[in-house]
């Protein structure tokens, strides 16, 4: 049975969702002079939006909230609080998803206060409407049931965290694992197959970290 509702998002989906989002912005008549990507999740969508809308100016702001896949830190913070002058410019703040919305709200308030654009609108690929504290001006997809979207740019990070969490729990009763055992249990827990490149890289990471010990070619033992 799946323990964390997860959806594996492909690069192709990202391109088509970003295109759909850009169309909505275009249709609204808003022509941003500058795009601001929320680091790190907004980087790829922001760059694609620039491409689809023909915007040359792209900067970013790092507003961080979630430290671990599907587990949140206490509050959001703005890292690297540099100042730029956006007076007279229409800006578009872009992120991947509005979950709680806290990191975007923090970025929005900081930009309005410190960078002072003429206008600032917010766009996100996805908006989790039942939990979000605000609704972005533009979104491509409304999500009605909370899900962890496994975006391609966090695939290794998420796989490591998901695998660690699964092994720590399942490891209470099972100490020895083969590659097939681990990937099979991972797919049972999360319902997604991230592929060999990511499974193997995550395993290597967890061996280095000391959570797992590789005792022979296809045998891993939980060290903790
Ligand atoms: P939040 O401040 O809660 O709206 O989320 C901050 C950032 O964490 C988002 O921009 C994403 O990069 C990441 N994140 C939060 N929730 C999810 C989710 N359900 N699926 C994938 N990434 C998420």
**What secondary structure does DSSP assign to 97-162, as a single string?**
EESS-HHHHHHHHHIIIII--SEEEEEEEEEETTT-SS--SEEEEEE-S--EEE-GGGHHHHHHHH
Q: Which of 14, 70, 96 to mutate to test the pocket of ligand 1 (most atoms within 8 A of CB)?
A: 96
What's residue 65's pLDDT?
Answer: 75
β-partners of residue 214 are 220
* Pocket of ligand 1 from Cβ distances under 6 Å: 41, 65-66, 76, 95-104, 148-149
Domain parsing of the chain, residue ranges: 6-145, 152-222
Query: What are the mean pLDDT values of the chain's consecutive 10-residue runs (224 residues total)?
Result: 93 98 98 98 98 98 76 76 97 97 95 98 98 97 98 98 97 94 97 98 97 93 86
Nearest CA to ligand 1 atom 8: 66
The pick from 66, 131, 135 for probing ligand 1's pocket by mutation, whose C-beta has the most ligand atoms within 8 angstroms, reads: 66
Sheet holding 57-68, edge to edge: 71-79, 57-68, 34-39, 90-98, 119-128, 138-143
Strand-strand pairing, 219-222 and 212-216: antiparallel
Q: Tell me the whole-structure pTM to 2 decimals.
A: 0.94
The DSSP secondary structure of 40-89, one letter per residue, reads TTTHHHHHHHHHHHT--EEEEEEEEEEEETTEEEEEEEEES------TT-
pLDDT value, residue 209: 96
List of residues 6+ apart from 5 with CB closer than 8 A: 145, 146, 147, 148, 191
Domain 6-145 sits in CATH 3.30.465.10: no
Equal CATH topology for 6-145 and 152-222: no
Mean pLDDT of the chain: 95
How much is the pLDDT for 67? 63
CATH of domain 152-222: 1.10.10.10
**Cα 219 to ligand 1 centre (Å):** 35
Question: pLDDT tens for residues 9-51?
Answer: 999 999 999 999 999 999 999 999 999 999 999 999 999 999 9
For ligand 1, atom 3: residue with the closest CA = 100
Q: Which atom of ligand 1 is nearest to the CA of 76?
A: 2
At 74 the pLDDT is 64
């Amino acid at each position: 049975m799946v323990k964390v509702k997860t959806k594996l998002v492909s690069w192709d989906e990202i391109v088509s969702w970003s295109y759909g989002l850009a169309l909505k912005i275009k249709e609204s008549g808003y022509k941003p002079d500058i795009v601001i990507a929320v680091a790190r999740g907004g980087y790829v969508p922001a760059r694609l939006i620039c491409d689809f809308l023909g915007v040359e100016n792209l900067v970013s702001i790092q507003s961080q909230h979630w430290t671990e896949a599907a587990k949140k830190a206490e509050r959001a913070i703005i890292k690297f609080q540099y100042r730029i002058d956006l007076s007279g410019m229409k800006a578009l703040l872009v992120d991947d998803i509005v979950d709680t919305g806290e990191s975007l709200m923090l970025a929005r308030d900081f930009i309005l206060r410190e960078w002072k654009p003429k206008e600032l609108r917010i766009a996100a690929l996805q908006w989790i409407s039942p939990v979000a504290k605000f609704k972005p001006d533009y979104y491509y997809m409304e999500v009605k049931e909370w899900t962890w979207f496994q975006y391609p740019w966090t695939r290794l990070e998420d796989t490591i965290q998901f695998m660690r969490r699964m092994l720590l729990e399942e490891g209470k009763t099972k100490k020895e694992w083969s590659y097939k055992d681990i990937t099979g249990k991972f797919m049972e827990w999360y319902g997604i197959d991230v592929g060999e490149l990511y499974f193997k890289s995550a395993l290597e990471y967890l061996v280095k970290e000391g959570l797992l010990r590789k005792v022979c070619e296809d045998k891993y033992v939980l060290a903790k």
